[in-house]
Amino acid sequence: MTTDLGLASPSVLLMEAQTGTVLYEKNASEQRSPASITKIMTLLLIFEELEKGTLQLTDEVTTSAHARSMGGSQVFLEEGEKQTVETMIKCIVVASGNDASVAMAEHIAGTESEFVSRMNQKAKELGMNDTKFEDCCGLTDSDGHYTTAADVAKMSRELIERFPQILNYSSIWMEEITHVTQKGSKPFTLTNTNKLIRGYEGCVGLKTGSTSKAKYCVSAVAKKNDLTMLAVVMGAPDYKVRFADAASLFQYGFSSCSIYIDRERDPLPELSVVYGKQDTAELEYAEEFRYLTTGGTVIGEVEKTMELPEEVQAPIQKGECAGRVVYKADGEELGSVAILYGADVARAGMWDLFGCTMKQYFLGTA
């Protein structure tokens, strides 16, 4: 990319998260220690368990001696202390609690090492080819624990696009939790480590990190004008530069981009089906169409064309492609969205066809 934003941090990347478009990068494939932005992957696996139903927000998680022993940033959980999954999520994403991260890893996978194996497997699935995790919180200074700004953007996008509710937690500025142990009850205030929540209008998360090896890192999310910007900063010399560079990336993204979103989609017809147990097939859009313009350009009037066959033959499977909607502006195709079958339609048997023929005969002679 030709633009030079003059950022002090050695490795950065800016992405429009809804479309996955990379808008700016510098040394984004350089492997670096991630510190606590490691926890983005930990949170992704937690939310996947919630999605599967194997975990509930109200489940209680017990802190082990190993989890309690974590140094660095922590929320001072005691051995044997129980907190709900939802409270643990807040402890991880707001206060960057290493103890809470390990407690959740053990609760989900039995051991932290097994959980880390799942983190690395997920990284492979996401195409994070320059990433290797050795713990679930980023506290380690091992050379074997590394990632890149590009890979951090991939896992951050996966988290916020699949589980946007994470932003409800990462945008909390301060919240009080209660430690309940054998010593009694004691309040503890979680304070967000991401100062952009208060320092940049529209910022809603996501995660900071810092160690002597990693220096200062952040993967930050901001929303304005239907755009979602994801700024990753790694290796900043101090926390002020980390946030200043992220803010500069946001400013560049919001000032140079606009997005078209088709929120008023045309109603879909029902397709005629030949040799089916039903006469028609339901249709549905595969996704919402989004088109990003960059460099300050403005999109013209958008024209939509629906491409569908007049009829189809059974059998039909739900989710198969039936056609598409094509989007054009100023004669140029912007892209398309697939139209899928919304339900199965089985092929009619001999008796089904016979019954249909007899019905038509009697209706025709009535």
CA distances (Å), origin 198, targets 248, 290, 349: 15, 29, 65
Q: What is the pLDDT of residues 11-65, one digit of tens each?
A: 999 999 999 999 999 999 999 999 999 999 999 999 999 999 999 999 999 999 9
Neighbours of 66 (CB within 10 A): 15
- Antiparallel, parallel or unpaired: β 280-281 and 271-274: antiparallel
SS3 content of the chain, % helix, strand, coil (to 5): 30, 30, 35
pLDDT value at position 183? 83
The domains located in the chain, with CATH, are: 11-256 (3.40.710.10), 271-365 (2.60.410.10)
**Average pLDDT over every residue of 200-216:** 96
CA-to-CA distance for 5 and 149, rounded, in angstroms?
16
CA-to-CA distance for 141 and 144, rounded, in angstroms?
8
* Confidence class for position 184, pLDDT limits 50, 70, 90: confident
Active-site position among 11, 33, 36, 171: 36
Tokens of 118: 């799942």
Tokens of 205: 């998360």
CA-to-CA distance for 213 and 235, rounded, in angstroms?
9
Q: Look up 69 and say whether it is catalytic.
A: no
Tokens of 14: 């800016």
Q: Which residues are annotated as a binding site for substrate?
A: 207
Active-site position among 9, 33, 39, 219: 39
Interacting residues of 215 by C-beta distance below 8 A, sequence separation 6+:
234, 235, 236, 237
Tokens of 48: 């996947």
* Confidence class for position 295, pLDDT limits 50, 70, 90: confident
pLDDT value at position 361? 57
Rg of the Cα atoms in the chain: 26
Tokens of 266: 């045309």
Does residue 251 sit in helix, strand or coil? helix
Q: Look up 39 and say whether it is catalytic.
A: yes
Amino acid at position 218, single letter:
V
Q: What is the pLDDT of residues 66-87, one digit of tens each?
A: 999 998 989 999 999 999 999 9
Q: What is the pLDDT of residues 297-345, one digit of tens each?
A: 778 889 999 999 999 999 999 999 999 999 999 889 999 999 999 999 9
Asked whether residue 248 carries a pLDDT value surpassing 50, the answer given is yes
**Average pLDDT over every residue of 117-124:** 98
Q: Which residues are annotated as a binding site?
A: 207
Active-site position among 96, 101, 156, 171: 96
Q: What DSSP assignment string belongs to 63-131?
A: PPHHHHT--SS---PPTT-EEEHHHHHHHHHTT--HHHHHHHHHHHHSSHHHHHHHHHHHHHHTT-TT-
- % of the chain surpassing 90 pLDDT: 86
Q: Look up 96 and say whether it is catalytic.
A: yes
pLDDT value at position 365? 47
* Confidence class for position 351, pLDDT limits 50, 70, 90: low
Averaged pLDDT score across all residues of the chain? 93
